[in-house]
């Protein structure tokens, strides 16, 4: 099963902290200054074979 979710934020650092430290997801990757946006990819690496 694949689940994807996008959320707009002006505080990416707090969002990363919430989803990694509280929810328990792992940071799988990210990007900076892509069409003036920064973002990150979160998930559970064992489920996708990383």
What's the pLDDT at 48?
59
Q: Which two tokens stand for residue 42?
A: 């979160």
Instruction: Calculate ∠ Cα 19-21-26, nearest 5°.
Output: 60
Q: Cα dist. 36→18, 29, 31, 32, 45 in Å?
A: 23, 17, 10, 8, 27
- pLDDT level of residue 49 (50, 70, 90 thresholds): low
What's the pLDDT at 24?
93
Strands of the chain (E only): list them.
26-34, 37-43
Whether residue 50 has pLDDT greater than 60 = no
CA proximity to 29, closest of 21, 38, 37? 38
Q: What is the pLDDT of residues 4-43, one digit of tens each?
A: 778 888 999 999 999 999 999 999 999 999 999 999 999 8
- Domain range summary for the chain, segments of one domain joined by +: 12-48
Decide: pTM greater than 0.85: no
């Amino acid at each position: 099963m694949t689940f994807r979710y996008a959320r707009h934020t002006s505080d990416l650092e707090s969002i990363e902290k919430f989803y990694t430290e509280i929810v328990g997801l792992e940071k799988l990757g990210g990007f900076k200054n892509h069409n003036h946006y920064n973002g990150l990819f979160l998930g559970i690496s064992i489920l996708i074979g990383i």
